A and B are shown apart, each in its own frame.
Chain A
Amino acid sequence: MKALVIARLTFREGLRKKLVLGVVLLSLVFIVLYVWGFSLFVQDWRAMEARRAAAGAGMTLPYEVFASAMVLLGLWTVNFLAGVMTIFASVGTIASEIEQGTLHAIVPKPIRRWEIVLGKWLGYALMLVVYIAVMVATVVLTARFVGDYRPPNVLAAYGLILLVALILLSLTILGSTLFSTVANGVIVFMLYGMAITGGLVEQIGTALDNDVLIRIGVISSILVPSDSMWRLASYLVQPRLAVNFLGPNPFGTTVPPSTLAVWYSVAYALVLLLLAMLRFQRRDL
Chain B
Amino acid sequence: MQPLLPGSQAEWAIETRGLRKVYGDRVALEDLSITVGHGEVFGFLGPNGAGKTTAVKILVGLIRPTAGTGWVLGRPLGDYRARRQIGYLPELFRFHDWLTGEELLDLHGQLYGLSRAERRRRIPEVLELVGLTEAARRRVRTYSKGMQQRIGIAQALLAEPRLVILDEPTSALDPLGRRDVRDLIRRLRSQGITVFLNSHLLSEVEAVCDRIAIVNRGRVVALGPMTTLLAGDLTVEFRLGSLPDGTLDALAQLVQVEELRPDPRPTIIARAPDEETIARAVDLLVESGIPVYGVIPERNSLEDLFVRLVNDESLESR
Contacts and interface: CB of A to CB of B under 8 A. Distances in A.
Physical interaction between A and B: yes
B94 interface: yes
A282 B64 contact: yes
B108 interface: yes
Nearest to B167: A104
A80 to B, nearest CB: 29
Query: Interface extent on A, as a size class?
Result: 20 to 34
Given A110-B84, A110-B111, A112-B80, A105 B64 contact: no
Interface string A8-19: 010001001000
A101 interface: yes
A52 interface: no
A285 interface: yes
Given A9-B107, A110-B113, A105 B62 contact: no
A109 B62 contact: no
A191 to B, nearest CB: 28
B293 interface: no
Contact of A105 (B61, B63, B113, B155): B155
Contacts of B63: 284-285
Contacts of B92: 101, 104
A100 interface: yes
Given A107-B61, A110-B81, A110-B84, A101 B93 contact: yes
Interface string A77-92: 0000000000000000
B96 interface: yes
Contact of B95 (A102, A112, A282, A285): A102
Contacts of A102: 94-96
A58 interface: no
A111 B111 contact: yes
A108 B88 contact: yes
A5 B104 CA distance: 12
B43 interface: no
A173 to B, nearest CB: 18
A51 interface: no
A192 B181 CA distance: 51
B166 to A, nearest CB: 13
Given A2-B111, A2-B113, A5-B110, A108 B95 contact: no
A119 to B, nearest CB: 10
A129 B108 CA distance: 27
Q: Which 7 A-B pairs have the closest CB atoms?
A: A109-B111, A284-B63, A108-B60, A104-B90, A110-B83, A101-B94, A285-B62
Interface of A: 2, 5, 9, 13, 16, 100-102, 104-112, 282, 284-285
22 contacts: A2-B113, A13-B96, A13-B98, A101-B94, A102-B94, A102-B96, A104-B90, A104-B92, A104-B93, A105-B108, A105-B155, A106-B111, A107-B61, A107-B62, A108-B60, A108-B86, A108-B88, A110-B113, A111-B111, A284-B62, A284-B64, A285-B57
